[in-house]
Amino acid sequence: MLLGGRAVPVFLAAGLVGLAGGTCLHLALAAIGGLSLGVALAVQALACIGFVSFGLFRRWLTGGERTVLLEHVLLALALSSGLVFALGAPVRAHLDALVAGLCVFLACGRVGCTAAGCCYGRPSSFGIRYPDGHPAHPHRRFPVQLVASAVWATLAGLSSIVSLAGSPGAATGVVLVAYAGIRVVLEAQRGDPRPRWAGLSSAEWLAVPMVLVGVWAAGGGPFDLALAAMASAAFGVLWSQRRRWLRLRPPIEPHQLDAAMRLGRELAGTELSSEVRRWTIGGLSLAASVVDDAVLISIDRPSGGLVDAEAALLFDAIGFGAGVPLGRPARRGAFWSVLLPFAPTPAPEQEIFGDRYLSRTGGA
C-alpha cells in the first residue's frame, strides 16, 4: 500500500489509520465531556508508547513476532489509570474516552490482520482464500478478523454514546465485559495455531481479567452495578456454552478436507456395489453404496452432529476429488447424504491442493 508516496505494509497502514481515527475520537470525547485535553494527550501518548514498548519487549522475550491485542489493551488501561490518578484527574471518565478510541484502533487493526493473513479462521464453506505458500492454503477460511473488526467498530459507537450519556466508567465496563464474552465465541472460529494452557487460549484466559476490570470500571451507581451484573451473567453463559456455539467444535480440519478429496478420487476409480463401504476420517464416519444409477455417500460425526455448512464443505471436497459437482446434501436423521453420478473423472492429483479447487469454491 502506498502512503505518502512510499510503500507501507497493509497491516502497518491499517494501524496508522486506526491510530489517527482513535486519537481524534479520544480527544473529541474528552473535550465534549469537559476533561483536560492536556491529560488526554498525555494518556494517548503513554498508551502508544506502552503499545510499542510492550511489543518490542515481547519479541525480545519470546524471540518471535506475535501480537496479542488483548494484552496491549489491558496494559494501556493499566498505564493510563496510573497516569490519570497521579495527575489528580478523574480516572473513569478518562478511561471512557480512551476506550472508545481504542475500539477504533482495534477495528482498523483487524482489517490489517485480514490483509496480512494472520489470525485467520477455521475452514469454512465461505470465506477468504489465501495464496499458495500461506499456512491456511488451500482451504477457504472463515473471515473471523472481519467479524472482530465489525464488533470493535460497533463497540466504538456504543462506547461513545455511553461515555457522553452514562456515568463515568460505564462505557469502559460495557466494552470490556461485552468484548470478553464475544471473544470467547469468536475463539471457536480461529484456525491459526496458538499455545493453550489447560485447553484455553491466551485470549480466553485474558477474558477473565477483562470482565473484572470492566466490573470495577462500571462500579459507580446502582444502574452501573446492575449493568455489570447482567453483562457478567451473559459472559458466564457464553463461557459455559462456548463449545456449542455454531457447533463448530470439533471443527472440520484441513487434513479432513484433504482426506475427503482423496476419498473422492478413490470413489471415482473404484467399482462399487450395493454393499456398503465405510471409511473413518479423523472422527468422521463416511459410507458409500450403489443406489439405482448413482452412488449414495453419507457422512456423520458420532461425537456431535454436522451443521449444513460443514456437510457442504466436505461434500464439495469429495465432489472435486471425484471430478463431478455434487448436489446440495440432504439431512437424513443424524447423517448427511448426497448422490454421486456414475462415470466421474477424478481430478489430477496436483490440482486437488491447488488453484483449481480454490477457483471452484471461490474466495475473497
- Asked whether residue 238 falls in the same domain as residue 302, the answer is no
Q: Is the same domain home to 269 and 154?
A: no
Residues 189 and 57 in one domain: yes
Do 137 and 46 have their domain in common?
Answer: yes
CATH number for the domain including 326? 3.40.1720
Q: What is the pLDDT of residue 344?
A: 46
* Residues of the domain holding 29: 2-247
Q: Is the pLDDT of residue 40 over 90?
A: yes
State residue 225's pLDDT score. 58
Tell me the pLDDT tens digit for each residue of 153-197.
Answer: 999 999 999 999 888 888 998 898 888 888 888 887 887 777 777
Burial of 190 (C-beta count, 10 Å sphere; 0-12/13-18/19+)? buried
With a cut of 70, say whether residue 26 has pLDDT above it.
yes
pLDDT of 99: 95
Same-domain status, 274 and 205:
no
Q: 336 with 285, same domain?
A: yes
Query: In this prediction, what percent of the chain has a pLDDT beyond 90?
Result: 23
Same domain flag for 206 and 338 = no
The pLDDT of residue 245 is above 70: no
Same domain, 333 and 308: yes
Q: What is the pLDDT of residue 116?
A: 83
Does the pTM exceed 0.75?
A: no
CA distance 296 to 207: 46
Residues 185 and 331 in one domain: no
- Whether the per-residue pLDDT at 42 is higher than 90: the answer is yes
Residue 12: the pLDDT is 79
Q: What average pLDDT does this structure show over 84-93?
A: 94
In this prediction, residue 103 has a pLDDT band, given cuts at 50, 70 and 90, of very high
Are both 199 and 301 inside the same structural domain?
no
Total number of domains in the chain: 2
Q: What is the pLDDT at residue 266? A: 79
One domain for residues 88 and 67: yes
pLDDT in tens, 300-329: 877 666 767 677 778 877 877 777 766 677
